[in-house]
Structure 1
Amino acid sequence: MKTYKIMGLMSGTSLDGLDLSYCTIWQEGHTWQFGIKKTKSVSYSTEMQAQLKDAIYLPADALLKLHNRYGTWLGEQCDLFINDHGLEVDYISSHGHTTHHQPENGLTFQIGNGQHLANASKHKVVCDFRTNDVALGGQGAPLVPIGDRLFFNKYDYCLNLGGISNISFEHNGNRIAYDIGLANMILNHITRKNDLDYDAGGNLAKNGKVNTNMLEKLNGLEFYKLPFPKSIGYEWFIEKVVPIVESTEDSMENLLCTSIHHVCEQVAIQIKANRKKSGSTLFVTGGGALNDFLIETLQQKLGDTAKVVVPSKQLIEFKEALVFALMGVLRIEKKTNVLSSVTGAKRDSSSGVLFLPN
Structure 2
Amino acid sequence: MGPMREYTVLGLMSGSSLDGVDAAVCRFAFQGNSPVPESWSIIAADTLPYTTAWAERLAALPSADAYELALAHAELGRYFGEQAKLFLSQSGIESIDAIASHGHTIFHYPEHQMTLQIGDGAAMAGVTGITTIDQFRSQDMSLGGQGAPIAPIADQLLFPEQDFMLNLGGIANISAKRQDGYVAFDITGANQVLNALCAELGLPYDKGGAIARSGRMIPALFEKVNALPYHHQPYPKSLGNDWVREAHIPIYQQWGAAVEDRLHTACRQIGHHTAMAVAAIIKRERVSTQRPLQLLATGGGAFNSFLMDCIQESCQALSLGLNVAPASSQLINFKEALLMALMGALRLQGLPNVLPSVTGSRRPVSGGALHLGQL
Look up the match of 1:40: 46
**SS of 1:274 mapped into structure 2:** helix
Shift of 1:336: 0.5
Structure 2: distance between partners of 1:208 and 1:49: 30
Q: Letter of the aligned partner of 2:15 in structure 1?
A: G
Is the contact made by 2:137 and 2:148 (CA closer than 8 Å) also made in structure 1? yes
Structure 2: distance between partners of 1:242 and 1:351: 31
**SS of 1:239 mapped into structure 2:** helix
Structure 1: distance between partners of 2:257 and 2:81: 43
Structure 2: distance between partners of 1:28 and 1:255: 51
CA-to-aligned-CA distance 1:141-198 (integer Å, 9 cap, x gap): 1101000000011010111110001111122312111101121010011112322111
Look up the match of 2:29: 26
Q: Which runs of 5+ in 1 are unaligned?
A: none
Match of 2:345 among 329, 341, 344: 329
Shift of 1:357: 3.1
Shift of 1:120: 1.8
In terms of mean alpha carbon deviation, does 62-71 or 170-179 score higher?
170-179
**SS of 1:195 mapped into structure 2:** coil
Is the contact made by 2:189 and 2:248 (CA closer than 8 Å) also made in structure 1? no
Q: Mapping of 1:111-126 within 5 angstroms? A: 111-126=118-133
Matched, 1:70 2:76: yes
Look up the match of 2:102: 95
Look up the match of 2:231: 224
Is the contact made by 1:79 and 1:122 (CA closer than 8 Å) also made in structure 2? no
Q: Which runs of 5+ in 2 are unaligned?
A: none
Q: Letter of the aligned partner of 2:240 in structure 1?
A: G
Matched, 1:356 2:372: yes
Look up the match of 2:261: 254
Structure 2: distance between partners of 1:313 and 1:7: 19
Shift of 1:13: 2.0
Match of 1:6 among 2, 9, 17: 9
Look up the match of 2:295: 282
**SS of 2:5 mapped into structure 1:** coil
Shift of 1:122: 2.3
Structure 1: distance between partners of 2:129 and 2:19: 26
Shift of 1:45: 2.8
Structure 2: distance between partners of 1:127 and 1:71: 10
Shift of 1:285: 0.4
CA root-mean-square deviation:
1.4
Matched, 1:243 2:250: yes
In terms of mean alpha carbon deviation, does 343-352 or 52-61 score higher?
52-61
Q: Letter of the aligned partner of 1:282 in structure 2?
A: L
Look up the match of 1:344: 360
CA-to-aligned-CA distance 1:258-293 (integer Å, 9 cap, x gap): 110000000001112223214000011011111111
In terms of mean alpha carbon deviation, does 310-319 or 24-33 score higher?
24-33
Structure 1: distance between partners of 2:81 and 2:230: 36
Residue correspondences, number: 358
Is the contact made by 1:272 and 1:305 (CA closer than 8 Å) also made in structure 2? no
Q: Letter of the aligned partner of 2:112 in structure 1?
A: N
Match of 1:152 among 146, 150, 159: 159
Is the contact made by 1:138 and 1:343 (CA closer than 8 Å) also made in structure 2? yes
Shift of 1:28: 4.6
Q: Letter of the aligned partner of 1:100 in structure 2?
A: F
In terms of mean alpha carbon deviation, does 154-163 or 305-314 score higher?
305-314
Q: Mapping of 1:296-335 within 5 angstroms? A: 296-303=309-316, 305-335=321-351
Match of 2:307 among 287, 291, 294: 294
Is the contact made by 2:185 and 2:235 (CA closer than 8 Å) also made in structure 1? yes
CA-to-aligned-CA distance 1:73-105 (integer Å, 9 cap, x gap): 111110001111220211111101100101111
**SS of 1:3 mapped into structure 2:** strand
